[in-house]
Structure 1
């Protein structure tokens, strides 16, 4: 009887995934039917999905389900995310109140050639995200800049917000200090630098094509932008954040220091007083409240889905279909993709899928570096596209645009998915390895 129970848990339950289906039908369905994706707020849709999650497994007590929900909502990854949101909201609000956003945008308009302003912003986002190792932190810090550029140039805000999200995911893929790199390398037992090297040759073409598309799309629109006045000292908070990121500073220290530094400069330049500084911090954190509540609800729902066997069902279904080495690679890619679509967290996805991916790799003799790279890329490409993921929710929460409205401009995650599939179909790393072996054999003979 005990073995049977364990097998049932391994197989999992497809019904446990119903809350995700309900959310997608409500959130995306209402938008497609009405043409307005603001009709169904993401929070409302997920609250309804949570109610559905509580109805599953009726034999279990409501108290037990609530305990599981609260544990999911209170997961350390969720709490860390909430603190980042609050700090990011405060930093963005203080920076805006003391004039950092206007000065940074005007300085960019004055220094950069009009045709390179927006593509240049994309490169800056990639660079900062790679330095900071956090896509959410990068999006929080730079979305206000995108808003300012849109106001100054007339370029569609959805395009610029999508540009920030895409650039943040580029850096997240290539950063040596990102959670995803650490998790992917750790679960596969390989060096982080090797995983990043594997990623680089897939990420680079996706990023280059995205850069070209952005350049073409915005070539004429930025030409009419006029630079306003700016003060160099007010740009310093953003420079300080960048320098801190390059130095490997902790994201919490980085954002908290940015808040204090921006406030100090604001007071020094008479742009604000101490009470306006405190008010700006409070306003920024208050602006993140709905997003924080949404993240808590999502975490709770995912906790119930996992407890009810939804994740186990996905794992069992995929592993049962693998028949070859190529199939094993696509199985790992599908594993990472589905779990990220269900959990909306690429770090949790890698941690969840990593041990099973390692077992699959050992069975089919796959390179651990390749597995780590695949886990990171497929989790990240979906994470950068799903409208209920932390990255897009953070960006649209700050910018006040529709999460679905920016999807059509998410060039990088789309091309990353395409090139990631190509890298599996034509394993260039394996070909290179074979060529190396042939050379060694010819030397021996």
Structure 2
């Protein structure tokens, strides 16, 4: 229980203050006290009140803050903020939104956000990049009366999950399959079944709730305006060629600046100011990611041995073993706030359980991948929710409650586990040595 006390302290302060401020009638209750401030007591508690020496705890905290995944996400956030701000000043978002309206009737704009996000995410193998790309478009459409902003952003996040689950070049797919010794093709076949069912359910639901017949009017287009979408087209093409996300964002930030200076009333001074504004917009989120990553590593260090012992001693059915893989991977995603790190941390546990209960490698990889992705996408302090809520200027809670795809996907996946388990009655043999 001690392992989770820092997280409980943070959630109690953050959610508790939000509930209090909502009761006394303040607007934006979850923004009245920064989550960074709520995280500090949890950090102090985790460092000071544990069995290890303070210096060891500080070293663990810094190690967690400085791991490759955390720093990469921070850099992506900075560049995504700068790219988004520059293209907004250039007017790229207005042009894309206007083109979307030209090709889609009003009732299909909301499901269109989900479909476009899913298509691009599957092609480029990332959720963060798609959120950075499509969320400003969804916000622009929402501001012009197309749909509710939180629902639109939730649809974008749901569609972006295809980049984690249904892409052969996704880092989560590669991590999950390689850790379990599984085939990417076999894993994708499993994911496609549950993912396509969930996608159809969500598309149908979004069409049903999109009863707006209001004609959305945006700025008129001319031939020169099409130049403004070149940075986005370039972003997608570079993603299709599997070019590093950091490089892709940096290159297209430069492309957007060059086009603005060359063809429009946009000076190099405006460009430099927009880059700084984009960086500043992401400062709080970036610092929060650093702190939460450090805290997560502290919490993981406390709980690792107990969890390993529990998985060795427990006796389960096959479906219960699969649910345990799903549960442990989700729990570690909550702890480390990274599906990649969670997959790497739980891969040996999943492999032990898979071998013990005759679960195929591609199925254990499938379970690891989808449940870490689902959990990460609805964490109020996860990178997807934080990035989308920052761009949309909404609270993380307001956004995550509208990510319908993740909740339905979890229900469909759990149902599939139970049904599949009934076809495989397994008596647990002796635990193999790995």
Q: TM-score, normalised by structure 2?
A: 0.91
Partner residue of 1:393? Answer: 386
Aligned counterpart in structure 1 of residue 71 of structure 2, from 67, 73, 79:
79
8 A Cα contact 2:297 2:336, kept in partner:
no
Higher relative contact order (CA 8 A, sep 6+): 1
Alignment counterpart, residue 414 of structure 1, candidates 407, 414, 431: 407
Alignment-derived partner of residue 333 in structure 1: 326
User: How far apart are 1:37 and its partner, in Å?
Assistant: 2.3
- Asked if 1:18 is matched to 2:12, the reply is no
Listed as ranges, the gaps of 5+ residues in structure 1 are: 1-13, 432-445
* Equivalent residues in 2 for 1:161-310, closer than 5 Å: 161-220=153-212, 223-230=214-221, 231-307=225-301, 309-310=302-303
Aligned to 2:363: 370
Specify which of 97, 101, 104 is matched with residue 96 of structure 2. Answer: 104
Greater CA deviation, 126-135 or 289-298? 126-135
Instruction: Tell me which residue corresponds to 1:138.
Output: 130
Q: Shift in Å at residue 391 of structure 1?
A: 0.8
Give the 5 Å matches for 1:308-319. 309-319=302-312
Structure 1 CA distance for aligned equivalents of residues 130 and 312 of structure 2 = 35
What are the ranges of 5 or more consecutive residues in structure 2 without an aligned counterpart?
A: 23-28, 425-434
Contact preservation (8 Å) 1:361, 1:368: yes
**Shift of residue 111 of structure 1?**
2.6
Which shifted more, 333-342 or 29-38? 29-38
- Offset of 1:315 from its aligned partner? 4.1
1:430 and 1:174 mapped to 2: Cα distance? Answer: 26
Q: Is the 8 A contact 1:381 1:417 kept in 2?
A: yes
Contact 2:94 2:218 (C-alpha < 8 Å) held by counterparts: no
Secondary structure of 2:144's counterpart equals helix
The 3 A distance-change label for structure 1 pair 56 and 154 is same
- Offset at 1:66? 1.6
Preserved CA contact (<8 Å) 2:319 2:422: no
1:428 CA displacement: 8.9
Tell me if the contact between 2:337 and 2:376 (Cα under 8 Å) persists in the aligned partners: yes
User: 1:401-431 CA distances to partner (integer Å, 9 max, x unpaired)?
Assistant: 0111123211100011001101111129978
Structure 2 contact 166–188 (Cα < 8 Å) conserved: yes
What residue number does 2:30 align with?
37
Q: In structure 2, how many angstroms separate the alpha carbons of the residues matched to 1:419 and 1:150?
A: 29
SS of equivalent to 2:397: coil
- Structure 1 CA distance, aligned partners of 2:348 and 2:249? 33
**Which residue number in structure 1 is paired with residue 57 of structure 2?**
65
Q: SS of the counterpart of 1:130?
A: helix
Whether the aligned pair in 1 keeps the contact of 2:293 and 2:337 (CA below 8 Å) is no
Render the CA deviation track for 1:356-386: whole Å, top value 9, x for unaligned: 1111111111111111001111111111111
**C-alpha separation in 2, matches of 1:39 and 1:192:** 45
d(CA) in 2 for partners of 1:50 and 1:227?
46
CA contact (8 A) 2:311 2:353 kept: no
Question: After superposition, what is the alpha-carbon deviation per residue over 1:272-328, rounded to whole angstroms, capped at 9, x for unaligned?
Answer: 112211221121112111111001101111121123x22433444455434222221
* RMSD value, Cα: 1.9
| C-alpha distance in 2 between matches for 1:296 and 1:213 | 37
Q: Secondary structure at the match of 2:396?
A: coil
Other structure's SS at 1:129 match: helix
| Alpha-carbon contact 1:361-1:371 (below 8 Å) kept | yes
What TM-score, normalized by structure 1, do the two folds share? 0.89
- Show CA shifts across 1:234-277 (max 9, x none): 12211111122222222122111211111111112223112211
Question: Which residue of 2 is the match for residue 6 of structure 1?
Answer: none
